[in-house]
Structure 1
Amino acid sequence: MEPYAAHVSLRWSDMDAYAHINNVQFLRLLEDARVIAFRDWFDNPHGGRSLLDEGVLVSRHEIEYRRPLGFRHEPVEIRIWVSRIGGAGFDVAYIVTDPQPLRDAVGGDATIYAVAETELALYDFTASTPRRMRPSERSSLERQLGVVAPFRRRRR
């Protein structure tokens, strides 16, 4: 399965005093990539509610920073896929890298800036309780299922 590629723009305000994208801003980049991916993964052609409308909450993040990312006008490419599916939640994995046109322009391999994984819990906002995954949601997620995030080292 080829990971979904979301292109996310950097903001000047994402930079910190060290002239690179601040570690906290990486969470915003990952969130933007998730929203873009979920729109396509869970698109409802009949105009109904999507997974984001129904309720999904972040319960855990893990990020491994690999290289400093400086501000630039070109977006970053965030490769995103599902790495685990449970009964009431799922994990998504990410690789933050350069988009293909930028890699082609510099004639090099992809620089990996970060590898990350997010654990998400399905939630019923009306009832204010966690909820089980619906068959249609599971089917959408299974189409995006890949390997666990390629961390160099996992904490156990």
Structure 2
Amino acid sequence: MSEFEIRRASEDDLPAIVAMLADDPLGAARETPDDLTPYRTAYEQLAADPNQHLVVAVRDGRPVGTLQLTVVPGLSRRGSSRSIIEAVRVHSDERGNGLGTRLIEWAVEESRTLGCRLVQLTSDATRIDAHRFYERLGFEASHLGFKLQL
């Protein structure tokens, strides 16, 4: 099997990214891969913001993984920036091959390069396997998160 590269996502990658976001029970209920209009609008905002890093892992010219890395400047922790990893997805054909690990390792290293002092992520409470995965990579379940749907 050939190696993959991690690169900044382009607008042409949106169909594959949205398909990966929709490829589980949670995503299937909230994503609409048949209408890319809202995703194109969001992509334009992400692409224009230097603190947003939407990336894809590509193998043989095909996006097979994705994540979004957001850098958040802050006053806490002595004025430290932190990064937030979100929307980590690996194509169903690629799961179990170490690609998820490589994506997270890339995000942690990129966070260091960008001067972040902390990397954080959230995971839906029902994603027990994902929690074990993140813990295996050194993340600690240190906080309780809250959301308010608007």
Judge same fold: TM > 0.5, yes or no.
no
- Place the TM-score, normalised by the shorter chain, in its bin: under 0.3
Q: Which has the larger radius of gyration?
A: 1
Q: RCO greater where, 1 or 2, for CA within 8 Å and sep 6 or more?
A: 1
Task: Decide which structure has greater helix share.
Answer: 2
Give the TM-score taking structure 1 as reference length. 0.27
